[in-house]
Structure 1
Amino acid sequence: MKTRRVFLQRASLSAMALTVPVLNPFSVMADQISEYAKDSKTLRVAIMGLGSYGTRVAEAIQSCQRTKLVGVISGTPSKVVAWREKYGIPEKNCYNYENFDAIKDNPDIDAVYVITPNALHKDQVIRVAKAGKHAICEKPMAVNAADGQAMVEACKAAGVHLLIGYRMHFEPNTLEVIRMRKAGEFGDIRFFQGLSGFTIGDPTQWRLDPKLSGGGAMMDIGIYSINGARYMIGEEPIWVTAQEVKTNPEKFKEGIDETITFQLGFPSGVIASCLSTYNMNNLDRFYLNGSKGWAEMQPSTGYGPIKGETNKGPLTEPIVTHQTVQMDEMAAIIFDGKKPEVPVDGEEGVKDMKIIDAIFKAVETGEKVLLNLS
């Protein structure tokens, strides 16, 4: 399995514009879309890493109102040629991993979206920043919190944005649940459950190479439950416990986690119970329980459509192409200073990396690990 998820859906922004309720400030608004269309400031992006997810992002950008694909960075010349022909990319905007520092002299590129194996993110993002370009980095942003923090500091020093590819932070049904929780419609939050997993295929892929991935299922899919627990509950965890199960050590070698269950504790007393695995299918579920109500989302983080219900009925926000909305929202963040409902900046990414570091430590020691995400 080379795609990141098994739930695939494409829908056009035009359909979204017709169905978005204009009174809901947490949804992607029809008038917001028209605002994108009339805004003259377009985010010109080069994609680094032309694999399956890079292709998905490129296709989604074709429906964007404020983002345009203008360049590519790849170590595979044949892919560069194919993308040039398909997307009309000028030859002068095409680079490889050795020479892409030259983007500093290319005024046609505003930002680079880094979609390469996890262990490469740190050095590549820092090089993008030193070239004076905004960096968008796929999650997980790095292989540990220290590397993530170095990326944040490099981008700050260069005066450029660092944004993480948290597409769910712009997904309408997700934002509706967050709105309901903030409005007190669920009462006092008591419990969250996050289940994230699928059965991974090709044993030779980079995700099962610890030198490239920095870990197994936790880095790839478990991060959704970590991040989801934070935005669904609306607090930052203060401790973590975790347990690992490995049934196939030949496939899941040292440094590659197969299945980890983990628990997060929050200041208010809320507990999150989560599972991350590369050995079970049909695991893409969030459940939030409060004193007055509940929300369940399944699928909760797949490519779409995101489905769910609450104690008040089904979630009916518009179906969108996540990456299309994400990229236009990121253009608004970079050019307009827009503040998203849930952050997507580098600091947000570092918080998730601190939790992952703590989960691995809890697995190793068998002890509760305290967290400080401030």
Structure 2
Amino acid sequence: MTVVVSRPVVRTAPYWVSTEEIAGDLRGRHPAHPKLALWLRMLGHTGVRTRPWVAPLAETGERTGVGDRSRAAYEGARPLAVDAARESLRGAGLAPGDVDCLVTTHTTSWTVPGMDVDLIRLLGLRPDVSRVGFATVACAGGAHALVQAARFVRAHPGSRVLVVAAEALSTLYHPRTLTLQTVLYGGLFGDAGGAAVVSEAGAGAEAGPLEVAGTWEFVLPDSQDAYWGVIEEAGLFFDSGPDAKKAAGRVLPHLATWLDGRPVDWAAVHPGGPGIIRGTLDGLGLDPETGGTHSLASLARGNLGGVALLDVLARTVDAGIPGGDGVAVAFGPGFTTTALRLRAVAGAAAPAAAQAP
């Protein structure tokens, strides 16, 4: 069986906030803080120049309380998910009733029922569609959803799976609570929705341009102190420890074991930061200067969390999928890693879908 993935569709939030604007807001609120200048220089080194948010900077910064912030995050992410999903179905030549399984990932709000249930109504999917909803995978969400979709297709030949990721990570911007983590993670991330269709080749969907040749999931032992999220009265916070910088590098030997000597001619790496991108490419035996073009371009517009790898894959398809075998890899809190071996489908053209600005 040949499992294929459509060109991912990404929809970014409408308000673009520059790093300079964030720095100005924090300086205005904390003019005498002794470490703010250093922390802002560190934010500048992340490679993010601007990021899309679901609300303007002033409105985002004034939100208080986990309830208000959670509702705003979900209400901001939901229309991005719907738009991306509808465009993905259109590009694949599918009607809502053609979808056999829906896989969603959304981490930035606490919502019950989840986005999977909401999308059935909003997209007009069948009420008996299979559902897989992830709420804690975070930055690995897009890759994780693609892996589960590919496994569903292999277990159910002829099925069509809609993958939808949506995050409003601007909820991590807490200008009143000033720490290194709130400055870095408040400014690193952007808000977006993304979607793709995973199906068996020839199963009624337009042929996707990417073939899934293998999948891999991995939880790095003793890595729980690398990255984590915390819900407090003020809202959702993201934090990290001393092990954070080393975690991705510790995964690479295990990734190489999974690849088992198979050639890697190109890669789509989750844009968690310049060091993660370059280190992963180097570990895969690829040139970090040329192989990370699409990941670095995505990062310049903000780390889109679970949508980020979908954005990198869309850029890869639009630029022309390189020949040979590739690896898509994403990292998330845990410390978790999800990867797919991919290759271009011979003769398949990417569906016409405009990349979000």
RCO higher in structure (CA 8 A, sep ≥6):
2
Which bracket does the TM-score occupy, shorter chain normalised?
under 0.3
TM-score by structure 1 length? 0.26
TM-score by structure 2 length? 0.27
Whichever structure has more strand as a proportion of its residues is 2
